Every structure is written in structure tokens, then in C-alpha cells.
Structure 1
Amino acid sequence: MKKSFSFFSLIIICVLLAVGCSEENNNYSSDLDAHKRDLDGYFFDSGRYQLYFKDDKMMINGRDIGKDKKSVLDEIYLNKGVELGGTVMEEYENVEVTTNDNKYTIKVDDFTLEFTKFKDHIIVDSENMEFIRNKLEI
């Protein structure tokens, strides 16, 4: 009886561990406060896109648009006529950055981006693509 109970307990523990480990963690919530100064003068790189913010300007460089990993920027540029797998180099002026809790809202002429501050050096777009802060402008 004692062996059966131990074996049954072991099976239940293994099942609970398997279920807990199998869930993908795409929850990029954070209790960090977002501030406009977090972006100004910095490059953020996702591997596909590079973002640069300075004053009220933003530059976006991107390659392999729409391939593999998804970003909210893929949809924006594909809708603007960039070919699948193409590249972009865009500069925007009069960019409005607002913050609320851990969110950055970036308004450009014809689109709006939203990022979550995941860590002090990582922001995440609405499609869960991470952008890592590289360096401060020199």
C-alpha cells in the first residue's frame, strides 16, 4: 500500500511538472515604469529591425520584412508596399511618445506603435518581438 501511494504521488508530481514546464511564457508584463527618457538617444535592435529615437525623431531600419519572426512593423511595411523579404530605411519627424505605466505609445504620421517595457534594456512590441537597447548615442 505504501509503495502504491508513493508511486501514485510520483506520477502526479511528474504530470504537474510537465504541464507547468510546457506552457510557453509570452507574458511580457512588467512593473517597471516607462519614461520617454528611456528611448531618447538609444538604439534598439530586434535582429530584424533597428529603432533609433532622438528628440522628436525616430529612424527605423529593417530587413527580411515579413519573414519568420513577426513584428508589428512587418504588417505596417507590407501594407505600405514593401515586398516580402525586402528592406526599409525610414526616418520620421514629429514623433509623439507617450507613456502609461509600463507602456510606450509612439505616434507617427500614419501609424501608432505600442511597446511594453519588459526590462530596463528591453522593450517588446505588440507581436512579442523583443528590442534590446544597444548603446547611447555618442
Structure 2
Amino acid sequence: MTTHTVADHIRKTEHARLSALVQGNIEAASALHAPDFQLITPIGDTLSKAQYLGAIAAGQIKYLNWEPDSIDVRVAGTAAIIRYRSNLSVVFGGYKVPPAQYWHTDFYELRDHIWQVVWSQATEIRPVSSRGEVLTA
């Protein structure tokens, strides 16, 4: 498989992962997350695979939509890193977080012939004034 073909496959895998998370399809999402998966949330918390998918299954995290822009992919053998911006709406702990844009960086590894996300980090993009001040809603 060429690097270009692998990159396209990883993009499709990430779209499938996001779709599973938005739909709350834990079985499909679980297959795409490595057993040692770790998420760094926009507020700096760390969640294991069990904590993250458990929170989604319990309804503590409910994605309303997750729309990625184009996904950049870098492949090196059996590892790949992706980066993209997205528009994201989520309900967290019963509180609807205002829709926002985020940067996402995800590290994938090929394990047993399946690309799985191992590390994931999301950073909120906050609007800034011309004076460099963070604008709040």
C-alpha cells in the first residue's frame, strides 16, 4: 500500500471513529481505539479508553455534531499522525457546551492489521481581538 493510500485509509478511519462517537456506537468506537488509548481534553484532563467510552455510553458526554475540515496525515511505517480543525457541539455532564472550533491531533498505530487511535488531544480555538485579548461569548 502506498503512503497516499494509507493516508486516505486513515482519513476514512477517523471519519468512521467520529461518526461512531456522535452516534454513541460504543462497539464501533471501541474497535477504533487502542486498549491503551488516552485523550487529553480541551480543559487538560486525561481520560483512558474505558473512561472516555464509558462517559459516552453513560450519556455524560454526548456529541451533537463533530464536523472535521480536511484532515492532514503524516505516515511513518506503522504509525501515523493526523491533524485537523473541526466544528464541535457537545453536551457534557448535562450542560450544553456552546458550539466551538477545535484543533485535533491524533496518533494512530497499525495493530493486528487495524489502524487504531492511541493518543488524542483537542484544543479549543478561541477568538482573539485585534489587541490579542481572548473574546468570550
Question: Highest Rg: 1 or 2?
Answer: 1
Would you call these one fold, judging by a TM-score over 0.5? no
Identify the TM-score tier after normalising by the shorter chain.
0.3 to 0.5
TM-score normalised to structure 1 length:
0.39
TM-score normalised to structure 2 length:
0.39
- Which structure features the higher share of strand residues? 2
